[in-house]
Structure 1
């Protein structure tokens, strides 16, 4: 609750201070890398800048960048003030006498500020960039989100089957639990037989919201950074380390934003008839009711329960997917393997990406599913796992290496087509956007 309170307070202030932010940005960019007297002075001073902006671009120009600015305020100050208040409430910034310790308070403030600054960096870039760059960035976010939604509609049944297989035999050795789902194909049959054909699309609505928010952020940032050439080396080739860094950072942000939807999606997909139920059964009647139930019992923090367990999965998955796709596509383009068959080029690149992501990500995916789906007590603490490390250790001791690769086949069966469709939709939408909105005269 501390995070939300701090963020909303900053948003309220942001409405009034945004015009000052616009003026500050214009003055800071004026005469960039030029000595005084060698550039045209459009903004003579603080007050003249207000007049010049309003005259040239209209009064509404004083609120340019308002949307990303408010998101920036929400996340920066939500994280910054939230962490500080959280630490203060627990006495972490106090000395033995119960008084505020300057050193401890400073340390907490620095950590909170760094965390907030890291999370909001993309929004600050959008705020300070040019207007056309802002709309280009927003378009990239939308295109990435829509592409993922299109792929998510097709791949959702595979997500349902994967979730069931990953929860089956939770913290039990092989042979010590009832096997409801023998394999990938049998799981489809059992789900349809026990819950009906529509059960293959359980969790579809929150799943699509998750796809839109997570991949809109992830693919949008990746595309935006790629367009600016920040991932290439001196030769114009994709830098592996830079690409991994960008994709992991973008994935972290996307996962955090979309986490509540993924949690509800997991709860709904795990729900099954009693005869074939696996994992904890949350008994939600739908997405809206699920959010209300979680909020009523655990407040706003409860909506982000399990997000820490999702971060490693997102980083590993996104890095392996985006990097393998870009690298493979670049190699195929360079050797002109499928010069006259671009769709086949996308297919091969995406399927290779699916292999890498399945191998590296499945263990983290299992842990994430378990963390999101486990039952919690009245204080929001998990019944089975204390944290991500505890989850890894318990799975290893109880289920061995096999436990980390439960659902591997449906994971690739989902990720392969999903990756193909997502990147094909993404590329198609990018070309469509370029053809219709960026035609040169």
Structure 2
């Protein structure tokens, strides 16, 4: 019983539950609203993270085209100074489109899998291994469906930097990027970088969904904390940190695969596949290059997770939907 129903119950009147409040389509809409809010708030951090991850790549001719390695704050200030304030949200449109597919799918699927297949112990907790499998599975499926939007987002994020370096613009809008990618490689081209994207999402969901769900239930059932704002905030802080640690290496590979130039058959000119990108990155730049951009990655995933889960839990409560 959520808080608003408890207040009414104390007055002696319990309203009938709304017939749509716990339906899959309604939860899908709520998760999309929460994800859009989190994306708009934290998107500049994602842009800075992507710029940092691309730095230091080896070009086709073997020369390193390096930009000065700048931290999160100086990268953000540099973007504002060189490209303008609004460029901090460059690529946000496909990012929102992505979450309309990705977040809605992963949240609804995970809840369905959890409620129907997970084992519930007497104390209300569930086996962590089941949560891990569930998080990896739904994260991979959701990201596969949303991969074209992610591809467009990454390419738009790098446009400002390309123009400053004197290159001709590749794209001017999300629609133009979609058409250009499709014309160059067909449907297959829209899923360029799909596998590192799916791997990344599987690990991120292992950190996000699995950690949040498991930690929250541990706090509520073992520590007897209330299922309220502070419990949500503490659980989301844990999930943001674990997500960053698990997802950063795959995120670096994903960004480089998606940003690389391609031939007429939509084949990468720098990396053959995800494994090739991983090995070349480690060989040319060292292991810790896989954690390049980790701080902005963490600083982005932490606030994103906090904003998303607080928003999601609150609008579920206000809508009469049961707690996650």
Partner of 2:23: helix, strand, or coil? Answer: helix
> How much does 1:150 deviate?
1.1
CA apart distance, 1:337: 6.9
Indicate the structure whose relative CO is greater, using CA pairs within 8 Å and at least 6 residues apart.
2
Give deviations 1:138-166, integer Å, cap 9, x for gaps: 22222222211111111111110011000
Shift of 1:274: 4.8
RMSD: 2.5
Partner of 1:34 in structure 2? Answer: none
**Equivalent position SS for 2:160:** coil
Per the TM alignment, residue 282 of structure 1 is displaced from its structure 2 partner at its CA by 6.4
Do the aligned residues in 1 keep the contact of 2:119 with 2:126 (CA within 8 Å)? yes
Q: Taking structure 1 as reference, are residues 352 and 234 closer, same or farther at Cα in structure 2, changes over 3 Å only?
A: closer
In structure 1, distance between residues paired with 2:169 and 2:234: 39
Structure 1: segments with no counterpart, 5+ residues: 1-131
Residues paired across the two proteins, number: 300
Equivalent of 2:125 in 234, 237, 249: 237
Is this contact kept in 1: 2:125–2:218, CA < 8 A?
A: no
* Aligned partner (choices 255, 278, 298) of residue 392 of structure 1: 278
Q: Could you tell me how far 1:181 is from its partner in structure 2?
A: 4.4
3-state DSSP class of the match of 1:232? coil
1:176 to 1:264, Cα distance in 2 relative to 1, 3 A: closer
- Asked if the contact 1:259/1:304 (under 8 Å) is kept, the reply is yes
3-state SS in 1 of match to 2:267: coil
Task: Give, in angstroms, the shift of residue 344 of structure 1.
Answer: 2.0
Aligned residue number for residue 182 of structure 1: 70
Q: CA deviation at 1:347?
A: 1.4
CA contact (8 A) 1:347 1:420 kept: yes
* Structure 1 segment 357-376 matched on structure 2, within 5 A: 357-376=243-262
Choose which of 179, 182, 189 in structure 2 pairs with 1:302: 189
Distance 2:311 2:165 in 1: 35
Q: Structure 1, residues 242-280: CA drift from partner, whole Å, max 9, x if none?
A: 1112211211121111111100000011112458659x9
Match of 1:344 in 2: 230
The TM-score normalised by the length of structure 2 is 0.85
Higher Cα radius of gyration: 1
* Aligned partner (choices 313, 316, 321) of residue 427 of structure 1: 313
Please, which runs of 5 or more residues in structure 2 have no aligned partner?
1-18
Match of 2:6 in 1: none
Q: Cα distance 1:165–1:335, how it changes in 2: closer, same or farther (>3 A)?
A: same
* 1:62-73 superposed matches below 5 A: none
